[in-house]
């Protein structure tokens, strides 16, 4: 799994950091997404997919298998 974020589009909702805190965080000053781990292991797969689905700005891309 490989994860990409488009921080320029982020609206700072924080859903990603709540759903997958080992993979996503937020900047303190404006709440924009911070990707902590672009290649999370399998135990984070469900949470990462959930975060991507729930993101209201659709800034998270998940590439399975790579």
CATH code for position 49: 3.30.70.20
Instruction: Please give the Cα distance from 31 to 46 (Å, whole number).
Output: 23
Token pair recorded at residue 60:
């998270």
Look-up: residue for tokens 């799994």? 1
pTM (2 d.p.): 0.94
Number of domains composing the chain: 1
CA quadruple 33, 45, 1, 37: dihedral sign: positive
pLDDT at 66 over 80: no
**Average pLDDT for 3-28:** 98
Domain housing 22: 2-63
Helix (H, G, I), strand (E, B) or coil at 25: strand
For 16-57, how does the pLDDT look when each residue is reduced to its tens digit (9 = 90+)? 999 999 999 999 999 999 999 999 999 999 999 999 999 999
């Amino acid at each position: 799994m490989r994860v990409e974020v488009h921080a320029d589009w982020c609206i700072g909702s924080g859903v990603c950091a709540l759903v997958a805190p080992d993979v996503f965080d937020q900047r303190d000053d404006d709440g924009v997404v911070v990707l902590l781990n672009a290649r999370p292991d399998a135990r984070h797969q469900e949470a990462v997919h959930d975060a991507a689905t729930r993101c209201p700005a659709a800034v998270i891309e998940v590439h399975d298998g790579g």
